[in-house]
Structures are given as structure tokens and as C-alpha cells.
Amino acid sequence: MADAASRLPLIGVDFSSRPSARKPIVVALGACDGARVTLEGLQRFATLEGFGAWLSQRHWLGGFDLPFGLPRELVEQLGWPREWHACMRHYAAMPRAQVRAVFAAFCAARPAGGKFAHRACDRPAGSSPSMKWVNPPVAYMLHAGVPLLLAAGATLPAHARAGHAQRIALEAYPGLLAREIVGTRSYKSDDAAKHTDDRLWARIAIVDALTEGRTRLGLSLWLSDAQRDVLLDDASGDALDAVLCLMQAAWAAQRADHGVPATVDPLEGWIVSA
């Protein structure tokens, strides 16, 4: 499976649950040859419908910056279906306002310091709990994104979901790889007032480390000078986040079972390279 997957076109996706022309979904397209990952281009989608149609028309192995599953503790306490696909159908059928109300009530009943339920992969990856609805609203990203993957017939290895053999979706998290390089330094912001030189220097450090192969993934990024400028000039970090997800997808493409641990809970899933 790893050999077949390594021949698929690679994508890394910086996702938005409410994309627009100002804040689109950004997709990094690439290919991997041994330890070399070539950035072939960036595409942007201002609507969920446009992005979903694009996914359904192509073959890819992708790293997506959105959660694919909810914490088992949350699902069991709410009495929702414990099988992943049934749980996602139930979740996607709820309006966002209801999602917020249900999750807020869950948190309100829990002690300070333990309001949110976590998946097993959240702490190793340093990611936000997938039930969080603000800052960042990853619960809404799951709500909007997973139905697109299912509509595309994707295979989701971490959830034991068999689908199209040439559309393989993996949960990625750019912050995991970025922190390996710059620690807790911020490298992006959607607030123009926070587009500082310090954040630019952090983006430079990340791009330099990727191109020089100085991460535990053991891969080096190849890109043109113009592409490098795009990654550095995008102070929102969306283009760079898409590339970080692309690198995680390339790592997974070369691993047995796409790097998903054998002990993973298919209800919760796993973040690539955590």
C-alpha cells in the first residue's frame, strides 16, 4: 500500500469552514521522489462546493488541516453512535448552532481545567481539541470538511474507512511540524496589525528548515524562488500551512499503513506523524 500511495499526487490543505475570496481554502500540490518533495503549485477555493467538486474529480493523497473525529469520551457521554461513519452522519446533520449548544453544555458541566474532552492524538500533536468551536473553530471545520471527504469517496485509513483507492485522506496539523522548527514563536496572523518582522523571520526559518531537510520527517522541500516568495509574503500563513500539510502527506505516503499506529481508535482517528 505504501508503494502505491507514494505514486499518488500529493496535496496539503489549509482548510476553512467558511471560505471566501478573502480567506480561501489553500491547497498545495506536490510530488515526492525519495526524500525530495516538489511543490508544484498552489490553488485556492472560495467555496466549500468548489473545493468538494475538485476533490471528487482527481486522484490524491492528502494531508488536511482539520480534525476527522471527535473524542470517544464526548461521543459516549452524549450517547451518539460509536461507529465513526454513523457518528459523522449524526454530527453533520446537526446545525452549527446546535453543535455549539451541545458542546457548551458538555463543557459547562465539567470542572475548570478539564472543560474539553481530548482525543488520544491531541496532546502528542499539540493540537486543539476537536470539539472546540472558537479560537480556532475546529469543530466547525470537522463539520464542514468530513462530509466533503465522504462525498469524494475518500479512503480514511485512521478511521478504517475504505473508499476510493486513489483518494486517501489523512488528518494533518501544520503546527506540529512548525513547532519542531520555531518552537512557540508565532509565524502567522489573520490580523494585519500583527504582520510583524518577527513573524516574517519565523516563516523564513520554517521555509529554510523545510528546504534544507532539517526536520524529523527526513524530507526536503523543492520550490522555485517565486514560490518561496509567496510562502513568505503570505502573512496569514495559509500558504505555508498548506505546504506543511503537504510535507506530512509525503511522509505518510512512504509509510506502511500511512504512518497510522496499529492501536489507533478508529472513532477518534490520528494526526499524521504525531
Confidence label for 270 from pLDDT (cuts 50, 70 and 90): very high
Residues composing the chain: 274
| Percent of all residues in the chain with a pLDDT value above 90, rounded to a whole number | 96
Q: Structure pTM?
A: 0.96
* Phi, psi dihedral angles at 144 (to 5 degrees): -90, -35
Which tens digits make up the pLDDT trace of 155-194?
Answer: 999 999 999 999 999 999 999 999 999 999 999 999 999 9
141 pLDDT higher than 70 = yes
Instruction: Report, as an integer, the average pLDDT of 197-208.
Output: 98
Integer CA distances (angstroms), 201 to 193, 219, 235, 263, in order: 16, 22, 11, 39
Rounded Cα distance between 199 and 1, Å, is: 39
Confidence (pLDDT) at 6 = 62
Integer CA distances (angstroms), 266 to 25, 49, 234, 248, 263, in order: 26, 27, 35, 20, 9
Instruction: Report, as an integer, the average pLDDT of 34-48.
Output: 98
Extract the runs of DSSP E, i.e. beta strands, from the chain: 10-14, 25-33, 36-45, 60-64, 154-155, 164-171, 220-222
Instruction: Report, as an integer, the average pLDDT of 189-212.
Output: 96
